[in-house]
Structure 1
Amino acid sequence: MSSRESASVPVTSERLAFGVAVVGGPTTVIDVAGHRLVCDPTLDPPTDYGYLRKLVGPAVDEGAIGNADVVLVSHDLHPDNLDVAGREFALRAPVLLAPPTAARRLGQPSTPLDPWSTWEAPDGRLRVTGVPARHGPADAELNDEGFVNCEVIGFVIEADGSPTTYVSGDNASLEIVREIRERIGAIDCAVLFAGSASVPARFGGRPLTLTAERAAAAAEVLGSPRVVVAHQQGWGHFTQGAEDTRAAFLAAGIADRLCDAPLGHWCLPVT
């Protein structure tokens, strides 16, 4: 799914049979089986949140995103994954899936989704399974709730006749990626949050998300023929960007799997 294979089609409210688009930061629009899903909406303009700083706003406005059928929130405590406007957007959705601690804080219409539990759309055409994520190094100290940094989940999205799509959330663990591949099976499209996010006060400044190199390794573990990398542009604590990702995938010999569509444009499946 290189730039040669993906048409540069901007995101609009018109839905595709299948498509994935990153609109800024981690915020990803996924169309599948007649449903529009939006993951980790961050829709504020550039903002200084104190310990995190947003440098640019989303590549498209809310009008282009339109109404989401399902909003996926990997975690709610960090503004680079759910900011003020993104929270308002999420709470307007008819379905909001989030890890249990986040669902309690967000309130209605949140539905808690534990790792390895599955939500199914009323029409039976869409299934979303929560999968584990670790928001930091393997040896990081756990917080009072038993999580690294905070509770985070990823998502596997499935629908009959559509590609199976994995959205990593802020996961830094290749061990977890390997477990997901073993339990779920083939992942047709991987949406990986990378950027090597780093905050000096957390775990000695070590990466809280995938580095570019570990994103390429995750793509190999998953065996995904289509890879979309999000969470690598637009925030001050992202220490690697799209050029680093391209270089890592080229070094691994899998550059042809990587979607190079601009922000706010669809990565379309190869036909």
Structure 2
Amino acid sequence: MKKIDFFGIFRHITLILLALMFLLPFIWMMLTSFKPEDEIFINEIRLVPERFAAYENYSTAFSETPLLRFMMNGVIVTVAIFLSQIAIAVPASYALAKLEFKGKQVVFIAILACLMIPPQAVSIPWYLLMYKFGWLNSYEGLIAPFSISVFGIFLMRQFFNSVPDDLISAARLDGLSEFSIIWRIMVPTAIPALIAFGIFSIVAHWNDYFWPLIVANSQDIYTPPLGVVAFKSDEAGDSYGPLMAAATVIVAPLIIAYLCAQKRFIEGITMSGMK
């Protein structure tokens, strides 16, 4: 008779409960987007609404504000930030992992120190710099401060450390330059790590509210988090139905992207910690 794995059962039950706990806010937000205004404020917990108002809420979310424009701005900003971060992080991390030069450890320690600095601490210098460049209320002002990611350099450096040195030596014997080695050998090898970093980067900047609130003054360049605030009114009150509908539309692409890339994401995170 096969033994019952009580520890395995307990582990799965614990993981399921934790997953439900983390999913509950999103589930509640989505269900609220289906409810009419009078059912949102009732004094009881009602998961399924008596009258579905999904069409009204979602149509209001798209008609009251240019939600598609906000989402397009979010795509432009997050993709531009990610591509610029990769263009800088990959060569920098390759140099830190596979090249020998004076001051290498000092540079790496400085990168680790930068990981401890919150972005809010340097927001005023960045704002003044964007003002000097004339980049306030522009895509450049939203993108430039985040074009370098010390976390991306650190993550890619850890992954490149796991790549055999013999592979790089063979490429050099074949006459490849260092940049050719980076883009033709290291980048294809590091696809899992790039996907893992991409999820971190895109989620962080898609959901960023602090910096766009400072830089953006026009709805033409509002990112999705700023667009959600448009449903908040001190005079007329908050339209929670359309607000939850807009929030659901904004969050859904991130969840879908993660579900599609979760295997590569986990693979990139685990392999980045290998020596």
Is TM-score (shorter-chain normalized) higher than 0.5?
Answer: no
> Per the shorter chain, which TM-score range?
under 0.3
Instruction: Look at both structures and tell me which one has the larger radius of gyration over its CA atoms.
Output: 2
Would you tell me which structure has more helix in proportion to its own residues? Answer: 2
- Of structures 1 and 2, the one with the larger relative CO (CA 8 A, separation 6+) is 2
TM-score (normalised: structure 1): 0.23
